[in-house]
Amino acid sequence: MAVRRYSRLAQRLGQQRWFSAVGRRVAGLDRFLYQHSGGRLTFARGMGPATLVLTTIGRSSGQRRSVELLYCRVDGSYAVVASNWGQRQHPAWSANLLAQPDCWVLVGSTEVPVRARLADDAERDRLWTTLVAMWPAYRSYAERSGRDFRLFVLDPR
């Protein structure tokens, strides 16, 4: 019961501009906790949505870059949205995926090699509905940013 209340509160707060600003700033710490605890420790734990760590190859640097994201499972794959907390620009990780679609996801303590692809129009509508149901703040982020979010499907290799 307490977890459900916490989840509903987090989903309401997630739509606030200040929540996005704080989230961007603690994301690095959250990613560190997630990676070093096998997914057991994360600020998002108990909020409801599942999280993973996506590792891409930087399109300019060639270095591995990691980001923690909310995701949903779709037919054995993972779906993620490039919301960038509602900022006007697309997140760097999404441009990395467009340049180099081979990447990795860490779900709990299991790392899975995946290949990213943009969702096609039919998938996009279905995924957007699912992702907004999971995290209603995505709708607020989209309105605030004024852009169409990139939705990626991460298929296991």
Q: What is the mean pLDDT of each run of 10 residues along the chain (157 residues)?
A: 51 57 56 59 59 94 93 95 93 97 93 97 94 90 93 98
C-alpha closest to that of 58 among 93, 88, 89, 23 = 93
Report d(CA 154, CA 77) in Å as an integer. Answer: 6
CB 114 within 8 A of CB 104: yes
Report d(CA 54, CA 90) in Å as an integer. Answer: 16
Report d(CA 9, CA 3) in Å as an integer. Answer: 10
CB 57 within 8 A of CB 96: yes
Q: Judging by DSSP bridges, how do beta strands 110-118 and 102-107 pair with one another?
A: antiparallel
Q: Go through the chain and tell me how many residues it has.
A: 157
Q: Where are the domains of the chain?
A: 2-156
Interior angle at CA 145, CA 141 and CA 150, nearest 5: 80
C-alpha closest to that of 96 among 73, 127, 128, 69 = 69
pLDDT (0 to 100) of residue 109: 85
Helices (H), the chain: 2-13, 17-36, 92-99, 121-134, 137-145
What is the dihedral sign for C-alpha 59, 118, 39, 14? positive
Report d(CA 43, CA 39) in Å as an integer. Answer: 11
pLDDT (0 to 100) of residue 41: 56
pLDDT (0 to 100) of residue 21: 58
CATH class of 2-156: mainly beta
